[in-house]
């Protein structure tokens, strides 16, 4: 597609889409290395590449003391890594990190930039897009390629979580999109993969215009809901903190954690960082118990990757029953009490007791 | 201090229904509200004014019907409202929206007085992008910080902003002018007061600026100024689920039914055994 620059906003640089190539994935690091959330973005990058094989996947790794991690994205599917390792990047400031990526993007002209919608990614991504005078689509649940034009389709639920909008950036590059952590899996590690590592040096660096003056780590919860394999999630229907305690008992028996819907968070039953759904987190447990959760589309968006969903709800008409694997109609309280008791008995009797149970 | 607070007049998404045949939104009869996530931003702006004096100016880019939203926040103690409105602003994505808002802030600085801080809510309930704060900061060349829970002035005229991330409580000293975006539910908003509403009725402190007032090129606003285009809208594909629903005789029956299902389901049975007995 040839863009007629006369029609563009004169504030935007006149560039043609075909000047741009490759798919960039911004890597976020912390004291443990590259975040899993940013490696997850290699999955949609690979999907786009499968339809545009001429494009390379380039991981962009910036920060201080991070060069050591440069091989990791390659093992997970990147073809190349651009590294900027600079002491002046020791503290993250959104504008400074954003500007480094903007400057790299001006030099290399990537066709696509994918950013994980972590707290930092949500803060930095729109700055990068805007400063490059291009579009960005937040919280995509999938990516595809328009077969006619070759444009990347950023797919996201608009407004409510039951529709999907296909958004493209036909006359600007790079095409930018974000996705929430856990919407995609990390591509498998492949020791045999190799790739080029390009080191870039910073000449000047933007004045952040701000300074981090105090940093107090908050106590980490035992297991984050994003990583939990069993989640007992409660809705407004849980009614009281006693109900939450029951849910916690079930969760701890199974080595799981408690989470909740937006309504449960609003009612104060569950901490906001444990909220599942469109305005909370996406989770991917093996097993998800939905207790007193009605099944609103916004909530269910957060559990699309859940293995199995068990729903307990007193309302036989609750939409959750059409979106779960095993549904039980009834008052959750006595059912959870019985379930906890049965599980405790099973636990004492040992694995042999399962055969007995299944024979009944 | 002169504080701008960005607000959006949004359809109440809780009340929106879909036409199952066409898949389109049924907006008719859906009441609009001030975006709930803007209230912490409004509250923070008003607290800064309470502490340091000055004025709070609410800004919104919207059709004239959003005047109601501005009137609502004037009732909370906001001093002025600016409605950025023009047919040529319609169909804007976040880049084109933030552009008009940034130009509005520049015009406020020039004609009303220099703006010290622009505060936005975390995101809107109708599109949930959380883009506008960062984009306005990009247009204005101002530092910015998201997820703010509180802010106060410190000695050298900087704004000390407290925020919480997944890992830490962080405090930043930010040079002004700056953009601050508040965290969801960070601050409890004050109620509307009759005296403020009356003052707003008498003083009519709402100004409307259109594309000519802002001196903008129509290629930079609305649909034309938006790099992103909605190519298509479809139903979200359903996740395949078993959808087995059981109405139990009693709680014991319910519990045993659930366990039977789970232990005969290969995808979870092994996992549950491991959770209970530490081995498969």
Mean pLDDT computed over B137-160: 96
Q: Residue A106, Cα to own-chain centre: how many angstroms? A: 27
Per the model's pLDDT, the better-predicted residue between A146 and B19 turns out to be: A146
Which residues of chain A make contact with B260, given a CB cutoff of 8 A?
357-358, 360
Asked if A251 has any chain B CB less than 8 Å from its own CB, the reply is no
Which of A294, A334, A338 is most worth mutating to test chain B (most B CB atoms within 10 A of its CB)? A338
Tell me the pLDDT tens digit for each residue of A15-56. 999 999 999 999 999 888 999 999 999 999 999 999 999 999
Question: CA of B214 to nearest chain A CA: how many angstroms apart?
Answer: 15
What does the buried/exposed string (b/e) look like for A7-37 if buried means 16 or more CB atoms within 10 Å of the residue's CB? ebbeebeebebeebbbbbbbbbbeeeebbbb
Predicted local distance difference test score (pLDDT) of residue A220: 65
Kindly tell me if the per-residue pLDDT of B107 is higher than 90. yes
Q: Are B126 and B84 in contact (CB under 8 A)?
A: no
Q: Where are the domains of chain A?
A: 8-199, 230-359
Partner B contacted by A119 (CB < 8 A): yes
According to CATH, what is the number of the domain A8-199? 3.40.50.620
pLDDT along chain A (360 residues), means of 10: 91 94 97 94 98 97 97 98 97 97 98 97 98 97 95 86 87 96 93 97 94 89 80 94 95 94 93 88 94 93 93 96 96 96 93 86
Where are the domain boundaries for CATH 3.40.50.620 in chain B?
2-220
Asked if B241 and A324 come within 8 Å (Cβ–Cβ), the reply is yes
Query: Nearest-CA residue of chain A relative to B257?
Result: A328
Read out DSSP for A51-85? H-TTSPEEEEEEESS-GGGTHHHHHTT-SEEEEEE
Pick the CATH number of B2-220 from 3.40.50.620, 3.30.465.10, 1.10.10.10, 3.30.470.10: 3.40.50.620
A116 Cβ under 8 Å from any chain B Cβ: no
Nearest CA in chain A to B176: A209
Considering the domain A230-359, what is its CATH architecture? 3-Layer(aba) Sandwich (3.40)
- Please provide the size of chain A in residues: 360
Q: Is A153 on the interface with B (CB under 8 A)?
A: yes
Give every CB contact of residue A70 below 8 A, 6+ residues apart in sequence.
A61, A81, A83, A197
The answer to whether residue A348 neighbours chain B at the CB level (below 8 Å) is no
Domains A8-199 and A230-359 share a fold: yes
Show the DSSP H helices in A254-324 as ranges.
262-266, 297-300
DSSP β-bridge partners for residue B66:
none
Residue A144 · residue A55 · CB < 8 Å: no
Residue A359 pLDDT: 84
Chain B touched by A227 (CB under 8 Å): no
With an 8 Å Cβ cutoff, are B251 and A163 in contact? no
Predicted confidence band of residue B25 (pLDDT cuts 50, 70, 90)? low
The answer, yes or no, to whether residue B28 has pLDDT greater than 80, is no
List of chain B residues whose C-beta atoms are within 8 Å of the C-beta of residue A134:
95, 227
Complex confidence, ipTM: 0.90
Per-residue pLDDT at B280: 47
Phi, psi of B160 (to 5 degrees): -95, 115
Distance, in Å, from the CA atom of B206 to the CA atom of B85, rounded to the nearest integer, reads 12
Q: Which residues contact A1 (CB under 8 A, 6 or more apart)?
A: A17, A18, A149, A170, A171
Kindly report, residue by residue over A73-116, the tens digit of the pLDDT: 999 999 999 999 999 999 999 999 999 999 999 999 999 999 99
């Amino acid at each position: 597609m040839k863009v007629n620059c006369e029609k563009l906003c004169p504030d935007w640089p006149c560039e043609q889409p075909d000047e741009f190539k490759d798919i960039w994935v911004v890597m976020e690091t912390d004291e443990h290395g590259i975040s899993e959330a940013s490696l997850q973005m290699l999955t949609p990058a690979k999907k786009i590449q499968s339809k545009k094989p001429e494009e390379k996947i380039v991981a962009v790794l910036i920060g201080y003391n991070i060069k050591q991690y440069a091989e990791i994205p390659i093992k997970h599917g990147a073809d190349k890594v651009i590294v900027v390792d600079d002491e002046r990047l020791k503290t993250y400031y959104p504008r400074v990190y954003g500007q480094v990526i903007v400057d790299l993007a001006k030099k290399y002209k990537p066709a696509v930039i994918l950013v994980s919608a972590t707290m930092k990614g949500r803060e930095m991504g729109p700055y990068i897009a805007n400063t490059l005078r291009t579009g960005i689509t937040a919280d995509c649940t999938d990516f595809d390629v328009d077969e006619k034009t070759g444009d990347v389709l950023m797919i996201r639920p608009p407004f409510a979580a039951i529709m999907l909008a296909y958004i493209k950036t036909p006359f600007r590059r790079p095409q930018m999109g974000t996705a929430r952590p856990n919407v995609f899996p990390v591509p498998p590690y492949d020791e045999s993969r190799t790739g080029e590592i390009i080191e870039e040096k910073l000449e000047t660096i933007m004045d952040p215009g701000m300074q981090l003056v105090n940093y107090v780590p908050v106590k980490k919860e035992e297991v984050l809901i994003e990583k939990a394999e069993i989640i007992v999630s409660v809705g407004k229907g849980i009614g009281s903190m006693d109900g939450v305690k029951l849910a916690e008992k079930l969760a701890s028996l199974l080595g799981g954690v408690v989470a909740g819907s937006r309504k449960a968070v609003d009612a104060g039953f569950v901490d906001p960082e444990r909220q599942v759904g469109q305005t909370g987190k996406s989770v991917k447990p093996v097993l998800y118990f939905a207790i007193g959760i009605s099944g609103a589309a916004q909530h269910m968006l957060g559990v699309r990757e859940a293995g199995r969903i068990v729903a307990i709800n007193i309302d036989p008409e609750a939409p959750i029953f059409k979106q779960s694997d095993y549904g039980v109609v009834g008052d959750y309280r006595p059912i959870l009490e019985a379930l906890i008791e049965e599980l405790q008995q099973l636990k004492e009797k040992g694995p042999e007791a399962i055969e007995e149970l299944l024979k009944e | 201090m002169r504080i701008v607070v960005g607000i959006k007049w949004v359809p109440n998404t809780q009340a929106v229904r879909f036409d199952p045949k066409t898949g389109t939104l049924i907006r008719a009869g859906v009441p609009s509200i001030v975006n709930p996530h803007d209230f912490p931003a409004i509250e923070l702006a008003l607290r800064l004014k309470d502490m340091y004096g000055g004025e709070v100016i609410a800004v919104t880019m919207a059709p004239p019907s959003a005047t109601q939203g501005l009137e609502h926040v004037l009732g909370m103690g906001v001093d002025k409202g600016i409605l950025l409105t023009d047919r040529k602003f319609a169909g804007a994505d976040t880049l084109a929206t933030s552009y008009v808002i940034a130009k509005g802030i520049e015009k406020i600085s020039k004609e009303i007085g220099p703006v010290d801080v622009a505060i936005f809510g975390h995101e809107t309930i109708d599109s949930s992008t959380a883009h506008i704060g960062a984009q306005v900061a990009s247009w204005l060349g101002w530092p910015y910080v998201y997820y703010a829970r509180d802010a106060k002035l410190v000695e050298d005229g900087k704004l000390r902003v407290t925020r919480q991330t997944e890992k830490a409580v962080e405090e930043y000293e930010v040079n002004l002018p700056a953009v601050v975006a508040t965290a969801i539910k960070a601050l409890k908003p004050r109620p509307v007061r009759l005296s403020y509403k009356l003052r707003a009725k008498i003083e009519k402190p709402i100004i409307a600026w259109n594309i000519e007032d802002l001196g903008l090129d129509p290629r930079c606003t609305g649909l034309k100024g938006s790099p992103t285009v909605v190519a298509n809208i479809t139903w979200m594909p359903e996740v395949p689920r078993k959808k087995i629903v059981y109405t139990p005789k009693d709680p014991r029956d319910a519990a045993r039914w659930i366990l039977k299902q789970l232990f005969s389901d290969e995808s979870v049975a092994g996992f549950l055994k491991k959770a209970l007995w530490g081995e498969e």
